[in-house]
């Protein structure tokens, strides 16, 4: 299993995964569906990171689980603490994440 010294830049990349999720989420879908979409994006991103960075010996299940966990924890924290608040100067204003989701949604409210 990876320790904190071998994580490399993955936590930094995972910080931006919520923006990738917002490209897929749809403004017309229920909140629960968008939450599941975000979770799936975090898990796929974690698996993709392991695939891209796997050495010649391949990868282990522990590495996949650790990478998916990091993506989910860091992505969720980044969304809740940063991306959902960035751009909201007054109540009622949309955050950067919401604006991105609305701009790329084909299913509108």
pLDDT digits (tens, 9 = 90+) for 66-97: 999 999 999 999 999 988 888 777 777 888 88
SS3 of residue 104 by DSSP: helix
What was the pLDDT predicted at 102? 86
Crossing angle of helices 31-53 and 17-24, in 10° steps, is: 130
pLDDT (0 to 100) of residue 86: 85
90: its two tokens: 């007054």
Could you list the mean pLDDT of each consecutive 10-residue stretch along the chain, which spans 109 residues?
A: 63 93 92 95 95 85 92 94 82 82 84
d(CA 54, CA 43): 17
Residue 33 three-state SS: helix
pTM of the model: 0.85
Delimit the domains of the chain by residue range: 20-103
State the pLDDT at residue 13. Answer: 92
């Amino acid at each position: 299993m990876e320790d904190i010294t071998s994580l490399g830049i993955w936590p930094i990349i995972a910080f931006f995964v919520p923006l990738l999720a917002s490209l897929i989420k749809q403004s017309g879908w229920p909140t629960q569906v968008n939450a599941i979409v975000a979770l799936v994006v975090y898990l796929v991103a974690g698996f993709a990171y392991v695939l891209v960075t796997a050495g010649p010996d391949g990868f282990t299940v522990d590495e996949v689980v650790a990478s998916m966990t990091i993506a989910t924890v860091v992505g969720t924290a980044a969304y809740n603490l940063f991306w959902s608040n960035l751009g909201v100067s007054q109540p009622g204003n949309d955050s950067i994440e919401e604006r991105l989701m609305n701009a790329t949604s084909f299913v509108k409210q």
